[in-house]
Structure 1
Amino acid sequence: MNGKSKKIKIYFVLLILEFFVLISMFFLNPDMISHKNYILLSSGFFLALWSFSTNLVMGLFAALFLVFAYGSYILYEAIFGGIFSFTFLKDYFWLMVFPVIAYTSSRLGECVNKSFKVVKELKKNVQILVRVDNLTGLGNKQKFYEDLCEEIRRAKRHGFTLSFMIVRIMFFKELTDIYGKSKTDDVVSLMVKNIEDTLRTEDKKYRLEDDTFAFILPNTDKKGAEVIKSRIRTNLSSITLNSGKKEEKLNFNFKIGIMPYDGKTDDVFEIRHRLEKELEYDV
């Protein structure tokens, strides 16, 4: 990360220096002040924006296009205009400026994009380490697997009954498209609150995916899990969303699957797979 930050600083300073030199030349050499050079300077500015926003290949391709266009203009003036009084500082140096600007801006853009990706990955890793879902405050997928192993060991060691439950919001993408992400987040938060009010304190709650929640129910057999399932279905039959003074009742589809622990497997991934299969029988 420190290496990328250093490169960003270097390319940023170089780009600033390049434009500083170009603009200074206008002040130090009044002969350069012309419509042509103003257009060339503006082209260099837009070339920098384009190169920063795309990549090195596209930036150099755009620079090559500008070099070709300006070179053709010089050639046209020489052949058809009879103008041969071209100088390096006033004319030819632009043929070098465009590729330099394109390279510096492209490299700066690439370094910035890489830094953003690193920051995004770090945030993702931090979230995994925290093991808490940002929106709901429930445990995340990693926490679910850890607690699942622990509760299975406890159930086997002490002979406790143990059940698992999964709740999935159906057509979650369509729900987000209709209500928007902000309102959908509010619905999910209300849904989780209703579920938490139904479950006991010792029950463990998790958000596995955006649309999927799981619960570990210690000291609960299949009959007890069925009772909890019925209560959750009733509580989720209608969600009332308060937005200011307005109340809006939202109805959405969801499925609930339950599975008592039978001691046949301790593989947490297999247990989750079997639990998700139970959703198919919830009609």
Structure 2
Amino acid sequence: MIVPSGCVISGVDVPVWARAMAEAGAPFELTTDPDRLRLPTRQAPEQALLDPSGGVVDVDAVRAHLTGLTREALRLEPVEAIDHEAHVSTRSGGSRFDAVLVAAGAGTAALAAQVGIAVPGELEHHARFTFPVDPGTGWRSWIDLPAAGPGGSRITPAVASGGQVVSSQGGRSGRYRGCIGPTVQRGEGAAWASRSRPELFGALLSTYQHASGPGRWAVGGHLDPATTAWEVGRDAATGTAREAVLEYARERLAVEPRIVETVHCTPTPGLGDGFHVQRAGRVVTVHGENLFKFAPVLGTTLAAACL
């Protein structure tokens, strides 16, 4: 379920990652050799750490596997109400269970509130964009935090493949975020490849990137929260991100600067990596960002909480 690409950490966080991995006994290598790093960038980073155990969660494979395991037990129906005694109401009626686990993504906050559990409900817009890249190279995963980009802006690229970046040390501080459950738009390159706006590239606060398939390189950019706030609207937020990421790709990456796919998602702002489990009566809720990398821990924890 994990693409074993290896994960490169580069930029100002390298000493922190190196210390943490050394303390944990996790293998790593400090190198700036482009042949070892295998990154689609125009210039190799000045300092980098290679985590050979890192890789990328294959979201499609995980989805297919879990669906196959639970197909006989799945009941696909919108949940309208729950209560502390594990009563669940749907459009076709109600049922009572031994326990209820609420893991409904953006719908978790409204359901949790019915049993007195407070879950952040605010959303923001986020988008990632896919570019053509050399299909003949097995690209590494990549998390990058240069000291500064143009105009002093901090730039944070991180790479994944079809899902979320996984390093043996794990993501930190919510800087490295991916999109899952996307709305996809294809074939947008011609409209956006002709523009050149360096000031937009400087507006990027961070990016994550991943090989999303043969010859495909996906890049998501994080901008000032004011430009991606929910009230800004999807079109405006995605348009600003699109131009900034396109300029970043043109200046920094060895990809064809032509967008061939757009993925839009709606994360919770400021939540960061990690997960949160809360309980009220027979109801357990779980929420958080970048949860795929925590799947083994979540499975064990939630099973115990519901038993």
- TM > 0.5 fold call: no
TM-score with structure 2 setting the length: 0.24
TM-score with structure 1 setting the length: 0.26
Highest RCO, 1 vs 2 (Cα 8 Å, sep ≥ 6): 2
More strand by share: 2
More helix by share: 1
Larger radius of gyration: 1
